[in-house]
Structure 1
Amino acid sequence: MLPTTNHGSRSSNPQRRLSVLSTYLRRIIKPKQMDFEYTFWLMLQLCISPKTAYRHTSYHKQTKNHWARDDPAYVVICCLLVGAAACAYCVAFSSSVWHSLFTVMSAVFVDFLAIGVAIATVGWFLANKCLRKKTLHSHAIEQHVEWMYAFDVHCNSYFPLFLLLYVLQYLLCPLLLWHSFFSAVLSNLLYMAALSYYHYLSFLGYSALPFLEHTEVFLWPVAAIILIVPFTILSGFNPTRFTLNIYFG
């Protein structure tokens, strides 16, 4: 049985985290050390069988003794996909090379990475401060959510959202951009599905950790989305038009 953590090993945790982080960053510039085959398999499972994808999280804990991935392949692939999709939008809607470059950089480094870091930090803080199970005796082992695992959860949740709000939305743009009630309904339903599935995958990610409880709090945004969407539809609000206006005016 693999140990998790104990009182004597707490002082070594920062060193272990730095070691994992240095390995992670070092692999970014060494593509041969990245497991792209597993990454594409994981992306597929997150779309068709997300519970299977997170079942492998426990296998990773058993073999590496930490929950977070030490392979940056998933993040690299997501950045490339987001950048490519942003380029497609720029070809269709942008009128300037510099504006296109700015849009692509914003999509990758702000929409995916920076906002992802913020969301991961909130989830990491909430899980560690409010959701960890109380120890029943003095010899119980304390476990904590790793920040890099929280970022993994965001990245995992982002890929299906990317397929819906970058790829599918792009293909449906001629329909979604019409000034009609049907276009507003379709756009709202698309965003509702994408954002709800994002939060559902986040819930699965945190519920996969056996030392957390009440992880259903990560599903609360889904209820809020379902309650808000009827009002946005009745008001004629079109999320697709709103989003593209932000980027392209």
Structure 2
Amino acid sequence: MAYVKSSSPLPLPAHHSKDCMSAATKRYKYMRRMFKFNQMDFEFALWQLVYLFIAPQKVYRNFQYRKQTKSQFARDDPAFLVLLSFWLFFTSIGFAIVLDLTFFRFVIFLLYVIFVDCIGAGLLIATIFWYISNKYFRQSTDQDVEWAYTFDVHLNAFFPPLTILHFCLLFFYTGLIGDHSKFLIIGNTLWLIAACYYIYITFLGFSSLRFLQHTQVILLSLPIVIFIYIFTLITQFNITRALHRFYVLRVLP
């Protein structure tokens, strides 16, 4: 298989070869490397995290490169997942401090964030997009969308909202859960930005697959999100305060 030069400014993965492996072999290799940090390309994964903020479209150029070299779009290196898990843990500590949680409640909060907000929601969203993309977006039956790739798209789209809502938002949290209208606008706007990031990066993930069509349908959710944002400002509905109450109720014994 011939190599195609990538135009992305991201560094190329450290581990790549021309050999094509079966799906079962790829899954086994991925799981086997999950706890072997010396075999992970953390530099490449860190570059992806950075570019998901400043130029997410360039991240998917490297997914195209992976398809050309390894016959799969999905990641074969768990380094990105490890860094995302670490960042999720770190931001959850910040939330626990702001919410003044005990250690026991922090553990409950962390388990909810990891297994419900990230993984649970990700499994559901990935499965829905996997079904829709293969059922309605494919131009032919010669290729199909890998479920693992749809989950990777979710993880990509999840990182910017996680940083905005679980890190940046913490610096204004005391004011955001109050009654001041200025902070309400700031908080709700951060939620709008996070939602737009998630939708746009998800769109990029599927539009980058050349055998799919009509992926722009995903962007139709943007006007809905903007309408909800305007509605919250008109009704003075504080999204951050509602989330605060939800988080507190979730960790109560």
Q: Is the 8 A contact 2:137 2:213 kept in 1?
A: yes
* Residue aligning to 2:45: 39
Aligned with 2:96 (options 90, 95, 109): 90
Q: Is the 8 A contact 2:94 2:167 kept in 1?
A: no
* Residue aligning to 2:216: 216
What runs of 5+ residues in structure 2 fail to find an aligned partner?
A: 3-20
Q: Is the 8 A contact 2:177 2:244 kept in 1?
A: no
Q: Is the 8 A contact 1:94 1:248 kept in 2?
A: no
What runs of 5+ residues in structure 1 fail to find an aligned partner?
A: 3-14, 136-141
TM-score by length of 1: 0.89
Q: Distance in 1 between matches of 2:59 and 2:68?
A: 15
* Residue aligning to 2:78: 72
1:203: Cα distance to partner?
0.3
* Residue aligning to 1:248: 248
Matches within 5 A, 1:1-249: 1=1, 16-134=22-140, 142-249=142-249
Q: Is the 8 A contact 1:188 1:239 kept in 2?
A: yes
Q: Is the 8 A contact 1:69 1:152 kept in 2?
A: yes
Aligned-residue identity in percent: 35
1:105: Cα distance to partner?
1.4
Q: Is the 8 A contact 2:158 2:198 kept in 1?
A: yes
Q: Distance in 2 between matches of 1:22 and 1:220?
A: 38
Q: Distance in 2 between matches of 1:94 and 1:113?
A: 25
In the TM superposition, what whole-angstrom CA distance separates every residue of 1:26-71 from its partner, at most 9, and x where no partner exists?
Answer: 1111111111000000111111111111111111111101111111
Q: Is the 8 A contact 1:127 1:145 kept in 2?
A: yes
Q: Distance in 2 between matches of 1:127 and 1:166?
A: 30
Q: Distance in 1 between matches of 2:118 and 2:107?
A: 16
Q: Distance in 2 between matches of 1:33 and 1:218?
A: 36
Q: Distance in 1 between matches of 2:34 and 2:186?
A: 39
Deviates more, 1:175-184 or 1:116-125: 175-184
Q: Distance in 2 between matches of 1:30 and 1:182?
A: 48
In the TM superposition, what whole-angstrom CA distance separates every residue of 1:54-106 from its partner, at most 9, and x where no partner exists?
Answer: 11111111110111111111111111111111111112213422111100111
1:174: Cα distance to partner?
2.5
Q: Distance in 1 between matches of 2:55 and 2:136?
A: 28
1:183: Cα distance to partner?
1.9
Count of matched residue pairs: 231
* Residue aligning to 1:11: none
TM-score by length of 2: 0.87
Q: Distance in 2 between matches of 1:21 and 1:94?
A: 40
Q: Specify which structure has the higher proportion of helix.
A: 1
Runs of 4+ displaced beyond 3 Å: none
RMSD: 1.4
Q: Is the 8 A contact 1:183 1:238 kept in 2?
A: no
In the TM superposition, what whole-angstrom CA distance separates every residue of 1:146-192 from its partner, at most 9, and x where no partner exists?
Answer: 00000010111111111111111111213312212222222111101
